[in-house]
Amino acid sequence: MIERAAGLKARYVNRVEKKFMDMKVGLFEKPRELNVKLGEGAYRDVYRYNEFAVKKSKPHVIRKILFVRIRVPSSLYTLLRFAIWDLNDYEYKQYRSIISKTPADLHQCFAKVYEPIKDGKTRYSINQLVTDDDGQVSKTLFEYGGINDKQFWNMVDDLEKLFLDKKIYYLSIGPHNVCVNQQADGRLIPVLVDYKRIGVRTFWHQLLLYIPYFIRLKMRRRFQRMRQHVRAGRVPDIIESSSLQVVD
Ligand SMILES: Nc1ncnc2c1ncn2[C@@H]1O[C@H](COP(=O)(O)OP(=O)(O)O)[C@@H](O)[C@H]1O
Ligand SMILES: [Mg+2]
């Protein structure tokens, strides 16, 4: 029985690996097929590619300083802002590290991240596409609006507890970075899709955060802000009033 389960698991892993390889080849041969846009953040455009979410780095990040819009090359910007040159590589490592510390029952709350790909200056992060039971791409919490589902919020609590216990400082928590995944039995599962802002390094210029008490507090506040506003069916003011309309 155990052997059979191990065989099945190996076959499954191989199938996923094969799909990943096909996807890599396809991406290089037909990059134009990246035409179904799922969303965007400040740094990347996200496309659907079969059962993957492919995040393509934007060449520039646009920021407003006083009233002037400036274009900064993405790598330079992430280096200055997060002390990270290659965001995709950082995310991939963070994801693997988190998963290694996470109990199996919570693995479903993390969209898988595969090894990133580079093509010249363009960088692609390859992720599991989060889809609902009916095959539709899951909405983010931001798009979903309010959620009044005890189980869903209990899982959010479990994630926060996990991060605090294991000293994982997941500061990317927010309604744009959590998908609401609808299961066949109607359950709603929070699934994290962004692993950029993890650890004090990504706030390297905020010296107080080097003291564990403060970085924990910051993370807890972000969780709290998300709960208070989204649970009640509103999105945080900070996002509504953002002049850029995109967030980390
Ligand atoms: N794995 C995924 N499955 C489905 N949608 C996703 C996935 N990853 C990202 N998205 C969508 O793309 C948007 C931006 O992705 P994100 O990784 O947060 O980009 P950025 O790093 O620029 O913030 C998300 O808000 C969400 O709408
Ligand atoms: Mg994001």
Residue 38 reports pLDDT greater than 70: yes
Q: Total structural domains in the chain? A: 1
* Any domain includes 207: yes
* Any domain includes 8: no
Percent of the chain with pLDDT over 70: 80
Per-residue confidence (pLDDT) for residue 7, from 0 to 100: 65
Closest CA to 38 of 176, 229, 151: 176
Q: Which residues of 157-170 are buried (b: 16+ CB within 10 A; e: fewer)?
A: eebbebbeeeebbb
Ligand nearest to the CA of 129: 1
Residue 238 reports pLDDT greater than 50: no
Per-residue confidence (pLDDT) for residue 244, from 0 to 100: 34
Ligand 1 pocket: which of 194, 226, 242 to mutate (most atoms within 8 A of CB)? 194
* Any domain includes 151: yes
* Any domain includes 14: no
Sequence-ordered list of residues with C-beta below 8 angstroms from that of 84, at least 6 positions apart, any chain: 78, 90, 196, 201, 202
Q: How far apart (Å, rounded) are the C-alpha atoms in residues 170 and 39?
A: 21
Q: Is 173 exposed, middle or buried (0-12, 13-18, 19+ CB in 10 A)?
A: buried
Per-residue confidence (pLDDT) for residue 8, from 0 to 100: 58
* Any domain includes 247: no
Confidence category of residue 240, pLDDT binned at 50, 70, 90: very low
Which carries the bigger pLDDT value, residue 3 or residue 122? Answer: 122
Residue 24 reports pLDDT greater than 80: no
Per-residue confidence (pLDDT) for residue 225, from 0 to 100: 94
* Any domain includes 100: yes
Per-residue confidence (pLDDT) for residue 75, from 0 to 100: 87
Arithmetic mean of pLDDT, 179-186: 96
Arithmetic mean of pLDDT, 17-45: 73
Per-residue confidence (pLDDT) for residue 156, from 0 to 100: 97
**Atom 22 of ligand 1, nearest CA residue:** 41
**Atom 20 of ligand 1, nearest CA residue:** 41
Q: Is 240 exposed, middle or buried (0-12, 13-18, 19+ CB in 10 A)?
A: exposed
Residue 49 reports pLDDT greater than 50: yes
The chain-wide mean pLDDT, for the chain, equals 85
* Any domain includes 3: no
* Any domain includes 16: no
Tell me if 199 CB under 6 Å of ligand 1. Answer: no
pTM of the model: 0.84
Q: Domain range holding 49?
A: 35-240
Residue 247 reports pLDDT greater than 80: no
